Structure 1
Amino acid sequence: MNVVVKEAAKEAVSPSLHSRCVLITGATGAIGGALANAYADPSTHLVLHGRQQEKLEALATTCRQKGAQVTLSTINLTDDHALKSWLAEVCAQQVPDILIANAGKNTHPQGPDILEPWADVQALLDINLKTPIAMVQHLVPAMQTRGSGQLVLISSLAAWHGLPTTPSYSASKAGIKAYGEGLRGLLAPHGIGVTVVMPGYVTSPMCEAMPGPKPWEWPPERAAKVIKRGIAANRARISFPFPLNFGTWWLAVLPAGVSQWLIERLGFNHSGDTPHD
Structure 2
Amino acid sequence: MKNPKKHILITGASSGIGAAIAQNYAKDGHTLYLSGRNKDRLSEIGKICESFGALVYVKTIDVADKMQMRDWISSLSHLDIVIANAGIAIGNTSPRDHDYEDTARTIFDVNLNGVLNTIHPAIDLMRSGGGSIAVVSSLAGYRGLPTAPAYSASKAAVKAYAEALSPSLKSMNIHLSVIFPGFVKSRITDQNKFPMPFFMTAEKASDIITSRIDAKKTIIAFPWQMRLISWFFRALPSSWALKILSQSKEEKG
TM-score scaled by length of structure 2: 0.92
Matched, 1:143 2:126: yes
Distance in 2 (CA, whole Å) between partners of 1:136 and 1:173 is 15
2:160 maps to amino acid:
A
Alignment of 1:166-245 (within 5 A): 166-245=148-227
Among residues 49, 53, 57, which one is paired with 2:39 in the alignment?
A: 53
Which segment is superposed worse, 255-264 or 173-182? 255-264
Q: Is the 8 A contact 1:109 1:115 kept in 2?
A: no
Calculate the aligned-residue CA RMSD, in Å: 1.9
Structure 1 counterpart of 2:102 = 119
Is it true that 1:271 corresponds to 2:250 in the alignment?
Answer: yes
Q: Residues 9-158 of structure 1: matches in 2 within 5 Å?
A: 19-41=5-27, 43-90=29-76, 92=77, 95-107=78-90, 110=93, 113-114=96-97, 117-146=100-129, 148-158=130-140
Distance (whole Å) between structure 2 residues aligned to residue 172 and residue 115 of structure 1: 20
1:162 has 2:144 as partner: yes
Unaligned runs of 5+ in 1: 1-17
Give the whole-Å Cα distance in 2 for the aligned partners of 1:24 and 1:199.
16
Kept in 2, the 8 Å contact 1:200–1:244? The answer is: yes
Q: TM-score, normalised by structure 1?
A: 0.85
Q: Which whole-Å CA distance do the structure 2 matches of 1:232 and 1:168 have between them? A: 31
Q: 1:77 aligns to what SS in structure 2? A: coil
Per-residue deviation, residues 31-73 of structure 1 (Å, max 9, x unmatched): 0110001000354100000112121111111111111000010
* Corresponding pairs, count: 250
Deviation at 1:96, TM superposition (A): 1.4
Q: Using the alignment, how far apart are the partners of 2:106 and 2:13 within structure 1?
A: 19
Deviations 1:155-212 (A, max 9, x none): 0010110111100000000000011111111111211000000001111231021353
Preserved contact between residue 32 and residue 57 of structure 2 (Cα < 8 Å): yes
Find the structure with the greater CA-based Rg.
1
The one-letter code sitting in structure 2 at the alignment partner of 1:184 is S
Of residues 261, 264, 273, the one that matches 2:243 is 261
Q: Which moved more, 1:18-27 or 1:176-185?
A: 18-27
Aligned to 2:188, the other structure's residue is in SS state helix
- Partner SS, residue 100 of structure 1: strand
More helix by percentage = 1
Residue aligned with 2:90, SS: coil
1:119-160: per-residue Cα shift (whole Å, max 9, x none)? 1111111110012112222111221111x1111000001011
- 1:242 and 1:219 map into 2 onto residues whose CA distance is 15
Is the Cα contact below 8 Å between 2:63 and 2:117 reproduced in 1? no
Percent identity, aligned pairs only, is: 31
Task: Give the gaps of 5 or more residues in structure 2.
Answer: none
- Cα distance between partner residues in 2 of 1:144 and 1:182: 18
